Amino acid sequence: MASEKPLPELGELNTPFWHAARAGTLAMQECGDCHHIRYPISHVCPKCLSETYGWTALSGRGTVFSSIVFHQVYHPAYKGEVPYNVSIVQLDEGPRMVSNVVGVPPSEVAVGQRVAVVFDPVNDEIAIPRFRPADD
Amino acid sequence: MAFLTDRIAIVGVGASEQGRLPGSTSLTLATTAFKRALDDCGLDKSEIDGLLTMPGSASPEGSLNYLRMGETLGIDPAYTGSMTMGGGTAGALIQMGAMAIACGLATNVACVFGDAAKTGGSRFSRASGGTDSWGIWGMFAAAANSAVAASRHMALYGTTSRQLGEVAVACRRHASMNPSAVMREPITIEDHQASRMIVEPFHLLDCCLISDGGVCVILTAAERAKDLKQRPVLIAGMGQGYTTQNLGREDWWYVPHQKDALDRAFAMAGLGPKDVDVAQLYDNFTMSVLLWLEHAGFCGLGEAGPFVEGGRIQLGGELPVNTAGGNLSESYMEGWLHVVEGVRQMRGACGERQVEGAEVCLVTGRGMTLNCANAMLLHPA
Ligand SMILES: [Zn+2]
């Protein structure tokens, strides 16, 4: 049986994130009280414990915070993918997220490099946000 | 003097065989270790009234392990429980046991761990993450978290893969002097550089082993320890630190809570890094040792790469680290053997790998997604 890559399980909390991504926008939760933009997705603001929030569109721009390259296959669905890049991206609006920098050889991604989001459609509901090198 | 300083002694340590042990289970390995620790200190099983346990990665009962272990060993304890902090568990349980004794809830506490991770097929490949797993982006396994730290440390401070290799070489050299170690063939920096990539920047030889084995550590009050078989080893100071935030905290990768744990332990003991003669530093990956060295103040921020060069952390060097071989070369007992080696160094019982005249040993542990850190300062009574 062919194993499949892990995909998000859409629930009440994370559906807006993934539907925004499918429509081509990187959106995150902004606290309705203290305006902290938070990630990972949570029902509550970790700064002020407010449960009021809205979804705000981000610029999709950021900087590579750390960059690693998987050579070991830890999940059978990634057997044909190694070596591949995983980077922590420092988004301009504050949050950091795990993603992949694509469009360059995986080992050539440099910490400090500017990147911009791209969306990799998987199905009708989901597109995975990844990043490409950017000039600014 | 702080309330807990020198109040609790580690009086018995025991370990099973280590490595690939087909037919063993976490319970059989823990049982062997428990019996050996009892023999080591001379206490009878009936005198153990505290039982603190860590479930193995291959233990189906998970955090109910304390019940399974108590039933297996035939102990109805006055005080018990299990904890699941990965490589932070050994230190956290020992500190909990120390508090239980000091507060009068138990007299003699056995802290026990067994795992058949090697034959059980544990690969420590779980993906972290919150509402959405990091596995969606292909980020799996414990190696990834420490590789993130290494990548950023390299970018900010110029740390090199060869410097990480110094840690691997030191641990292997020490393991070569340890008949119980799993990997005893000495290696060079070139061997490290030539080993295959796992998660860049980590080569295979940056990564700890996966092992079957069991370890037990027995504690009692310092005044009672005098009547037992071994020279007591006192806990001069202990401390813990945690971050529950991962990406939510900008310096998560640098594990600042390790420094908190160390500062707390040093303060309790009234000691500082200059007082430490030998250190057992949690080494799930080579990078972790560099971070401990900086956080403990053996060197400055960003300076651990050059610090480990030239054999400084090898036996005979300024600060011998992981003198039994560590998680990298002795066996991956998630830090439990670091405590055992710390105790044996303080007893002066390490033979060829004894640090002559050592009077203070630092032992550290860290687990989960870099979240759970602790430190202890040991010295002989
Ligand atoms: Zn808020």
Ligand 1 centre from B107 Cα, in Å?
47
Q: What is the CATH number of the domain that holds B105?
A: 3.40.47.10
Question: What would the pLDDT profile of A104-122 be if each residue is shown by its tens digit?
Answer: 999 999 999 999 999 999 9
- How many domains in chain B? 1
Q: Which H or E run contains A22?
A: helix A15-22
Q: Cα separations (Å) of B241 from A27, B246, B370?
A: 33, 14, 11
* Residue B282 annotated as catalytic: yes
The tokens for A56 are 């705000």
Interface with A, mutate which of B123, B136, B203 (most A CBs under 10 A): B136
Contact B247 A95 (CB under 8 A): yes
Ligand 1 centre from B160 Cα, in Å?
40
What does the pLDDT average to over A53-58? 98
Nearest to B144 among A7, A68, A130 (CB): A68
Measured between beta carbons, the chain A residues lying within 8 angstroms of B122 are: none
Min distance A61 CA to chain B CA atoms (Å):
17
Contact B152 A65 (CB under 8 A): yes
Q: Which of B91, B236, B178 is nearest to B354 (CA)?
A: B178
Distance of CA B362 to the CA centre of its chain: 11
Report the side by side order of strands in the sheet with B212-221: B79-82, B50-54, B108-116, B212-221, B8-15, B233-242, B372-380, B361-367, B278-280
Ligand 1 centre from B231 Cα, in Å?
54
Instruction: Count Cβ atoms within 10 A of the Cβ of residue B44 and give its class: 0-12 exposed, 13-18 middle, 19 or more buried.
Output: exposed
Q: Which of A30, B157, B281 is nearest to B273 (CA)?
A: B281
Nearest to A71 among B123, B198, B245 (CB): B198
Q: Which of B172, B213, B255, B180 is nearest to B90 (CA)?
A: B213
Question: What's the rounded Cα separation, in Å, for the pair B279 and B300?
Answer: 17
Instruction: Name the closest residue on chain A to residue B156, using Cα atoms.
Output: A111
> What is residue B156's predicted lDDT score, i.e. its pLDDT?
98
| Domain annotation covers residue B165 | no
Min distance B222 CA to chain A CA atoms (Å):
43
Ligand 1 centre from A100 Cα, in Å?
28
Q: Are A38 and A29 in contact (CB under 8 A)?
A: yes
Give the ipTM: 0.98
Ligand 1 centre from B199 Cα, in Å?
36
> What is residue A2's predicted lDDT score, i.e. its pLDDT?
55
| Domain annotation covers residue B30 | yes
| Domain annotation covers residue B168 | no
Q: What are phi and psi of A48, to 5 degrees?
A: -120, 0
| Domain annotation covers residue B150 | no
Domain span including residue B98:
2-119+210-225
> What is residue B162's predicted lDDT score, i.e. its pLDDT?
98
Question: What would the pLDDT profile of A86-97 be if each residue is shown by its tens digit?
Answer: 999 999 999 999
Q: Please tell me which residue, A2 or A73, carries the higher pLDDT value.
A: A73
Interface with A, mutate which of B151, B154, B199 (most A CBs under 10 A): B151
> What is residue B59's predicted lDDT score, i.e. its pLDDT?
87
Instruction: Name the closest residue on chain B to residue A73, using Cα atoms.
Output: B198
The list of chain B residues with pLDDT below 50 reads none
* Residue B254 annotated as catalytic: no
> What is residue B122's predicted lDDT score, i.e. its pLDDT?
87
What does the pLDDT average to over A55-71? 98
Q: Cα separations (Å) of B154 from A68, A111, B29, B151, B305?
A: 12, 9, 39, 5, 9
Question: What's the rounded Cα separation, in Å, for the pair B126 and B102?
Answer: 37
Contact A74 B131 (CB under 8 A): no
Q: Which residues pair with B361 in a beta bridge?
A: B278, B378
Whether this prediction's pTM lies above 0.95 is answered by yes
Q: Are B266 and B299 in contact (CB under 8 A)?
A: no
Asked, as a colleague might, if the bond just before A40 is cis with ω within 30 of 0, I would say: yes
Min distance B201 CA to chain A CA atoms (Å):
7
Backbone CA torsion sign across B14, B19, B21, B24: positive
Q: Which domains does chain A have, with CATH numbers?
A: 15-133 (2.40.50.840)
| Domain annotation covers residue B87 | yes
pLDDT band at A1 (very low <50, low <70, confident <90, very high): very low
Q: Which of B127, B65, B36, B53 is nearest to B90 (CA)?
A: B53
Min distance B133 CA to chain A CA atoms (Å):
7
The count of other CB atoms within 10 Å of the CB of residue A4 is 9
